Amino acid sequence: MNKNWGMKMKELTLTHLEKLDIISIEEKEIENLRKWYTTNIEYLKINFKEIKDPFQEVVILYKSNLIYKNSNDFNIYCYDNDSNIKPKYIYGFEIDFERNKEKIILKKPITDIEFINKDAYISADRLNFYNSCATQDLLVISLIYSYLAFNEEHIIKQTKIHTHKTQSKKDKRGGKKPKVKLTKQTIITFNTDYIQPPTEEEKREYERHILGWTVRGHWRTYKSGNKIWIKPQIRGDKEQVQGKVYEI
């Protein structure tokens, strides 16, 4: 029996989500990734070792699913991106992606999935259902990681500065103007479509208001041809981090 069965799941709040990197992907993008995978499967077989987990902590949104990944723990929620309702926990599992990536990427049987945060007793049918769901979730994750690993040259960044007006009851009675809060969102798209770059004013606003930011894991290639893996990390103020939104 998994020692983690029966553990109480820590609540994932909307405030916590704002600090995390988010990968947002629609069903049509998943299908495009599957086509890309099929076209490049022989290349992936040879070069799967170059595919790494670029995030220490990340959220993946697809369909109505929210996958919250922290190190080797994957927790699955039901989530409506268009509402302010907190995510509803479904199930969780633990797996070492680095150790199992060949099986995951090449669709081989995965035997190292350990389920967490469940009742001590679970029926065989229910366990098979969870295994099927976890395998599907891992496949989506591996498609994203694989595409990211071999398409870095197609990454285009866009920084958006949004204004959000806030006004208390006291402000209204006093006739004061509503306060304007600047919020930053960095969108990283994995395609070759042209995106209007941020203006110099937007860049300056970003630099003035950002306190902490995430850096995803990536390969660094030196002039000598040597490559080293830079681990995912947080820079700046770790208590006031603003995550990025990744769109496929």
Alpha carbon of 132 to those of 20, 64, 139: distances in Å? 27, 17, 11
User: What are the domain boundaries of the chain?
Assistant: 14-150
Q: What 3-state DSSP class applies to 135?
A: helix
Q: Are 117 and 91 in contact (CB under 8 A)?
A: yes
Give the pTM: 0.62
Q: Classify residue 168 as exposed, middle or buried by CB count within 10 Å of its CB (0-12, 13-18, 19+).
A: exposed
Q: Are 59 and 68 in contact (CB under 8 A)?
A: yes
Instruction: Name, in order, each residue with C-beta under 8 angstroms of 147's C-beta and a sequence gap of 6 or more.
Output: 33, 36, 190, 248
Dihedrals phi, psi of 239, to nearest 5 degrees = -85, -15
pLDDT of residue 5: 38
| pLDDT in 10s for each residue of the chain, 248 residues | 344 433 344 567 767 777 788 888 888 888 888 998 999 889 888 888 888 888 888 888 888 888 999 989 999 888 776 666 777 888 889 999 989 988 888 888 888 888 876 665 677 888 888 888 888 899 889 988 888 887 754 444 545 545 444 444 444 445 454 444 444 445 555 543 333 445 565 555 444 445 555 666 767 777 777 877 777 776 665 666 666 666 66
pLDDT of residue 50: 86
E strand or H helix that includes residue 172: helix 169-174
Q: Are 57 and 70 in contact (CB under 8 A)?
A: yes
pLDDT of residue 132: 87
d(CA 167, CA 177): 8
pLDDT of residue 247: 60
